[in-house]
Structure 1
Amino acid sequence: MPEPPDPADPHQPIPHSAPWWRHAVIYQVYPRSFADADGDGIGDLPGVTSRLPYLADLGVDAVWLSPFYVSPMADAGYDVADYRDVDPLFGTLADADELIARAHELGIRVLVDLVPNHTSDEHAWFREALAAGPGSRERARYVFRDGSGPDGSEPPNNWKSVFGGLAWTRVQEADGSPGQWYLHLFDDKQPDLDWRNPEVVEEFHDVLRFWLDRGVDGFRVDVAHSLVKAEGLPDWTVRTGMLGDQGEDGTEDAGEPATTDPRTKELGPMWDQEEVHEIYRGWRRVLEEYNPSGDPDQDRILCAEAWLPSQERTMRYVRPDEMHQAFNFQFLEMSWRAEDVREVVDTSLRAADEVGAPTTWVLSNHDVVRHASRLGLPVGSPRPNGIGAGSEQPNPVLGLRRARAATTLMMALPGSAYVYNGEELGLPDHTALPDRLRQDPAFHRTAGVELGRDGCRVPLPWVADEPSYGFGPGPRSWLPQPLLYGPLAADRQEGVSSSTLELYRTLLRLRREHDLGVGGLHWEGGWGPDVLAFRNAREDGRPVTVVANLGEDLLDLPEGLEVLVASGRLEDGRLPQDTTVWLA
């Protein structure tokens, strides 16, 4: 019998020659909010290209671009009308080519977002489906069903949309009569594709090849655990959800993931069906066509966005013949308590090691309240789906302090890390955004019950004394920037040793120098219950010791070790609360 793993050693080091994606730091660019080159108030691809040197200086290995495809923008581009072209709002295909080429010149790989669960209702396929009528090949590409009830006036089942309201919309047939219903797990302008249809499977193989031929290095896959729905589309009594913790009536219910039934903790029939894995095996084969020599430096990758209740379920998406990475949402959602952080780290590393995959670490993205705001709420608070002027306001000083400490801890963990644009500036959410300016469909479909994601999508500040804080050449930005963004602008933080920007630059430089992404992790004993202490040890060389103090008492640091970086100022050489330090 093999020896059981040492609980102090949840992860062993991997070779320095490991593929790039096993230890990469990947930076998410939300194009609408990153940089505006043409002055229309909306970020674009030329704007992203102009700021790539900044990302190279930051030290990231790759960028992931949120959708820039042709879209009516009902859901900020996650409603795609043409997967093979760039929306004029963001530029042209030539601009995309230039961005990819410039990134590669700077040593930055490029991942693009792919949205396979649904298209826009303005996609050519959906327009053809409406024109063709029931029983047609065109309708078979989507989930169309006859209604229930004697006259078909009731939806086919009781599913609700993630964004609120029914998950079904009835169409009017060509002759003007009430017709079939189509499924949309999200907005009614986002009809779900039927992934049991081979034509859909082949179409997305072609989409993958289109972008791989243009030089992209991989894909982030939106709502990767949906796609296939259970046969028969059975009723589901719990509201369909992905983000935040919600009960049967849609109200906040701490402790229960929205993707599960609070009574059975089982996933609904619209998520994580077994057949979805064969789809991604097919995608993996397509990507491997582009690296026939098997050179790990030439790997093209897939990363799953899959909101699932456990690491074990998530890791099924990154088995050796499926995807390469999956977002670690358990880490994003953990409470800022030492025991909770350690449990998530342990569980994540062991679950990933069982399938031979890397762990990813992430604290913010375009769908959640930024962690500089989220961590300013009382410890243990349910993660809110947006913060508004009437909400409990986070403590901004405490939130940033904890965010810096959490990021400093995260960057020392083995595996791959994701950074959301602007978090390196310490940006909080816009927590006083007027409701009349909100654009998230979740806000409108729930009549404001859910504030939604606009607060984390506010355009970035680059230059404090310029209009729109340097976001673009004019004063406009598609969402207003709060006044507090001015002092956080990138130009105000450049070269300031105590700034969050310089902290991130230091963390990424030291992470690379010490090969922390391929290191092993060993927990250090002898510390109190409010302290996290571990060593990240690579195959050779001196280990880095990491200590995070989540308790109230000042900590004496081990003697004989040099401070490499700290998330905040030490007090007479001692580690204060909500501060993380690296030592060697």
Structure 2
Amino acid sequence: MSGWWDDAVVYEVYPRSFADADGDGVGDLRGIIARLPYLASLGVEGLWLTPFQRSPQEDQGYDISDYCDVDPLFGTLADFDELLASAHAHGLRVLVDIVPNHTSVENPLFEAAVAAGPGSPERDLFVFRRGRGEASELPPNNWLSVFGGPAWHRAAPGSQTDPEWYLHLFSPGQPDWNWENPRVGDYFERVLRFWFDRDVDGIRVDVAHGLFKAEGLPDSPTVPTVIDGLRSNPLAMDQEPVHDVYRHWRRVADSYSPSRLLVGEVNLPPERSARYTRPDELHQTFAFAFIKLGWDAASWQEVGAQLARVRDETGSSPSWALENHDIVRTATRFGGGVRGRRRARAALAALLGLPGAVYVFQGQELGLPEVDVPLADRVDPMWHHGGVSRDGARIPLPWSADADGAHGFSPSTGERSWLPTPEGWGRFSVETQEGSDDSSLALFRRATVRRSDLHASGRFSTGEGVSWRADDGGTAARDTPVRLIARRSGGVSVVVAMGDGPVVLPPGELLFSSEPLIEGLLPPDATAWVG
């Protein structure tokens, strides 16, 4: 089933860091409401809101204790309803983040499970097991948490009568649900319907491939690594029963008019990820093979060709992204400084020229770099458990050049922002970039307008495939490919100059470029659409 999402540009809003209306140093729903005109001006079709539901915030909201309420940190359910209605009035769809793999230790159902004790029906909603050793002193198996350390925690540490441990693939504050129990599926159907009945346009499914675990929970055949724990332990994810969950969810989504979008975080190789977007399952999954790429033509060509093969075999189109709240910002990943920001602009322009949906992380339109957050200010549980911090991509968005209120993120009389903004952050601000036709913000707006125009004229069509090539750029023989060409089946080519010199454009009309041509050549670290 086709829908508005097939070629949509969706903007990820990380509420904590988007806009703070009440001055407590943390972004909130009313801050988003106030900035909806800005979001509409970007030319995006949808917003994905990361978790704002009730939570103790151990993992910045991905530890949800009540899936059907708003955490007071962000506002109220009435605020959400106003945000949704206002977004719709601005022509923006809204996606809500749902976390079905794990919950919070403060979820009343988990609290009841701990209190009820071993063998109780309350505990069967979660993954409890007796530990190894005579006194159950060792974890039930060798699985590691994605955040570091064992993926198990004692239900009642020190107890002589409760020998059980509970599974947490993430932090100890995030116990995994037991999806073998049908009551868990019933619980989440009610959650879906709660948000769909409020007229939410879709959901993003967190860790969509991680619900079921291998029968018997055997030891991992390989020792999982810390940060890559979910991918490197094949027994903790991508189990076949998970597909029946999404077949059911798809029937629920399609029972609404219009149908609601289901997009999954499936951090698997393309061949495995594509199985989640079969015609009766999720509509989309993120192209994770693409999202972590550096600035290298050969790598882009290799991954792009792999995704194209999977699309041809399965009919599953990629959903493009290069940034999110878990990934190092492209301006830094692509080299840092002025050149890194120029490459980030070109990369974003390249994605917007490809067929399929594009997901953009807040601040990507500004070319924000990664921030090296001082050690004392880091709050990411991955840092505290595993030594890797994602805080640097989550710095509050700079709205003004003035340093007061963390550059317009909060009222100037407000509290210090939850993550500190670095010196000079205002030079990347919306206010600063609004005044420049050469800014990353201006380029992003031009690209979304041009993309929309090309769809309207038929030059861009839904469902097009892509063929990928990397070569020497047509100006001189080189050992390393420096020109990337992604040719849409409709005839338009996206060309990226990824070396140190200019490259030749293929024949055709110049439809868009991230930088002016130089004597007819595309300069380095630039993208053009030619058709």
Scaled by the length of structure 2, what TM-score is found? 0.93
1:179-328 to structure 2, matched below 5 A, reads 179-236=163-220, 238-240=222-224, 259-261=230-232, 267-291=233-257, 298-308=258-268, 310-328=269-287
Instruction: Name the counterpart of 2:428.
Output: 488
2:7, 2:502 → 1: CA distance?
Answer: 33
Decide whether aligned partners of structure 1 residues 134 and 374 sit closer, same or farther in structure 2, where only a CA change above 3 A counts.
same
Instruction: Name the counterpart of 1:417.
Output: 358
Partner AA of 2:441 in structure 1: L
Instruction: Name the counterpart of 2:112.
Output: 128
The answer to whether structure 1 residue 553 and structure 2 residue 501 are counterparts is yes
| 2:79 pairs with one of 95, 118, 122 | 95
| 2:411 pairs with one of 473, 485, 499 | 473
1:112, 1:174 → 2: CA distance?
Answer: 39
Aligned-residue offset at 1:398: 2.0
In structure 2, the gaps of 5 or more residues are 475-480
| 1:357 pairs with one of 304, 316, 323 | 316
| 1:330 pairs with one of 264, 289, 300 | 289
How big is each residue's C-alpha offset from its partner over 1:535-562, in whole Å with a ceiling of 9 and x where there is no partner? 4364xxxx54432111233234456634
SS at match of 2:236: coil
How big is each residue's C-alpha offset from its partner over 1:110-157, in whole Å with a ceiling of 9 and x where there is no partner? 000000011100000011101111111100000001111112111111
Instruction: Name the counterpart of 1:161.
Output: 145
**Contact 2:470 2:482 (8 Å CA) reproduced:** no
**Contact 2:145 2:226 (8 Å CA) reproduced:** no
Aligned-residue offset at 1:176: 6.5
Partner AA of 2:501 in structure 1: D
SS at match of 1:483: coil
How big is each residue's C-alpha offset from its partner over 1:200-232, in whole Å with a ceiling of 9 and x where there is no partner? 000000000000001111111111111100001
Decide whether aligned partners of structure 1 residues 242 and 545 sit closer, same or farther in structure 2, where only a CA change above 3 A counts.
farther
| 1:140 pairs with one of 124, 139, 157 | 124
Indicate the larger mover: 566-575 or 132-141.
566-575
SS at match of 2:484: strand
Aligned-residue offset at 1:451: 2.9
SS at match of 1:67: coil
1:336, 1:501 → 2: CA distance?
Answer: 21
1:158, 1:536 → 2: CA distance?
Answer: 46
| 2:375 pairs with one of 416, 432, 435 | 435
Aligned-residue offset at 1:238: 3.9
| 2:488 pairs with one of 536, 546, 554 | 536
**Contact 2:25 2:417 (8 Å CA) reproduced:** yes
Instruction: Name the counterpart of 2:477.
Output: none
How big is each residue's C-alpha offset from its partner over 1:401-449, in whole Å with a ceiling of 9 and x where there is no partner? 2111111111111111000000100001112x11111111111113xxx
Aligned-residue offset at 1:371: 1.1
Q: CA RMSD in A?
A: 2.1
2:33, 2:231 → 1: CA distance?
Answer: 41
How big is each residue's C-alpha offset from its partner over 1:367-388, in whole Å with a ceiling of 9 and x where there is no partner? 1111111111xxxxxxxxxxxx
The answer to whether structure 1 residue 498 and structure 2 residue 458 are counterparts is no
**Contact 1:158 1:237 (8 Å CA) reproduced:** no
| 1:54 pairs with one of 22, 29, 38 | 38
Scaled by the length of structure 1, what TM-score is found? 0.84
Aligned-residue offset at 1:108: 0.6
**Contact 1:66 1:113 (8 Å CA) reproduced:** yes
**Larger RCO, structure (CA 8 Å, separation 6 or more):** 1
The answer to whether structure 1 residue 577 and structure 2 residue 517 are counterparts is no
**Contact 2:308 2:465 (8 Å CA) reproduced:** no
| 2:384 pairs with one of 432, 444, 458 | 444
Partner AA of 1:460 in structure 2: L
Aligned-residue offset at 1:242: 8.1
How big is each residue's C-alpha offset from its partner over 1:228-265, in whole Å with a ceiling of 9 and x where there is no partner? 00001011154545856xxxxxxxxxxxxx6555xxxx
Instruction: Name the counterpart of 1:566.
Output: 513
Aligned-residue offset at 1:173: 8.2
Aligned-residue offset at 1:534: 4.0
Decide whether aligned partners of structure 1 residues 560 and 200 sit closer, same or farther in structure 2, where only a CA change above 3 A counts.
closer
2:435, 2:177 → 1: CA distance?
Answer: 49
**Contact 1:30 1:66 (8 Å CA) reproduced:** yes
1:441, 1:223 → 2: CA distance?
Answer: 17
**Contact 1:364 1:420 (8 Å CA) reproduced:** yes
Partner AA of 1:546 in structure 2: V
Aligned-residue offset at 1:351: 1.2
**Contact 2:11 2:362 (8 Å CA) reproduced:** yes
SS at match of 1:103: helix
Partner AA of 2:517 in structure 1: L
- State the identity as a percent: 50
Aligned-residue offset at 1:172: 2.0
SS at match of 1:80: coil
Decide whether aligned partners of structure 1 residues 484 and 349 sit closer, same or farther in structure 2, where only a CA change above 3 A counts.
farther
Partner AA of 2:237 in structure 1: W
Partner AA of 1:444 in structure 2: H
